[in-house]
Amino acid sequence: MPASFGATSTTEDVLSGVDLKGKRVLVTGVSAGLGVETARALAAHGAQVVGAARDLAKAKTATAQVLADAANGGGLELVELDLADLRSVRACADALLADGRPFDLVIANAGVMATPFGKTTDGFETQFGTNHLGHFVFVNRIASLFAPGSRLVNLSSSGHRFSDVDLEDPNFDHTDYAEFVAYGRSKTANILFAVEFDRRHKARGVRATAVHPGGIQTELGRYMTHEVMQGLIESINATNAASGQPAFEWKTVPQGAATSVWAGVVAPADAVGGLYCEDCHVAEVVEGGDMLAVRGGVRPYALDPEHAKALWAKSEEMVGERFA
């Protein structure tokens, strides 16, 4: 794996010289930000991209540049997917199964962050239900479409350090709700889902990994006020100064999407399977440390294989569906 890739690498840096003609890729959340750039970069290198979004009209407008940059046989088609409504999730998956064309890469990119307390259509806490359970059902329903040698990339976050999953109270029925605790639970779940999906499917040549894109100014932060965001950055900078690290800097969207495409098509499968990546490399496992450190590895609980199995079983129980 090229050592030159890092925090400032862009999608074009990572995909330089990579030919994806004939590859079929699915990306969720293509109506803004990272999802649009991920789809654009892959289509520009020849991939046929299926972009999933809740609002198709918004996605059509947002992905105009994807079609403009598509080259070498690359292209884009859009499908409707509302991850906060399992009826929509199952309908989208069923339509893809009926179509029958396989995928070489699925990037579970869509998500929400730090939302006020709420519930999905199916009664799940909004962040856990959207970020984890929606993708859990969707990906597992289309698992038979993963071609040998294909990969799943789950978008997680350094925010997984805010909290482990709570399998006893996933919907905050008995716990005081806190926006970033809920976000942390959902992002830890994204990693654990990749760990168990990788274990279950690697024998047939399908691998899974989770990635942290970095701090990027996108619609993901729309629920955070300017004051909350500034306070968070100030706390991060204080933590960094105390440990001799540089001040926080935002990544650009192409830099943020780079780790997704790196883990999906560039890094050797055995090097990233069942692991967590950041800044175009596999993250170090770090015990403890400050949860506000923007970079600094992955917590052991997020990669624990038995924990991943337990989350899988709990997720099946919650959605009322079992997956082989």
Which residues are the active-site residues? 156, 183, 187
For residue 121, how far is the Cα from the chain centroid? 21
Q: How far apart are CA 64 and CA 150, in angstroms?
A: 27
- Provide DSSP, 78-127: EEE--TT-HHHHHHHHHHHHHH---EEEEEE-----SPPS-B-TTS-BHH
Strand 276-278 versus strand 281-282 pairing type: antiparallel
- For 195-198, the CB contacts below 8 A with 24+ separation are 195/274, 195/302, 195/303, 195/304, 195/305, 195/308, 196/305, 196/308, 196/309, 196/311, 196/312, 197/139, 197/140, 197/152, 198/152, 198/273, 198/274
Buried b (16+ CB within 10 A) or exposed e, 58-78: ebbebbeebeeebeeebebeb
Structure tokens that stand for 60 in this block: 């059509």
Strands across the sheet with 207-212, in order? 75-80, 48-53, 24-28, 103-108, 146-155, 207-212, 276-278, 281-282
Structure tokens that stand for 244 in this block: 């001799």
On whether the CB atoms of residues 258 and 10 are closer than 8 A, the answer is yes
Q: What DSSP state is assigned to residue 21? A: T
On whether the CB atoms of residues 257 and 213 are closer than 8 A, the answer is yes
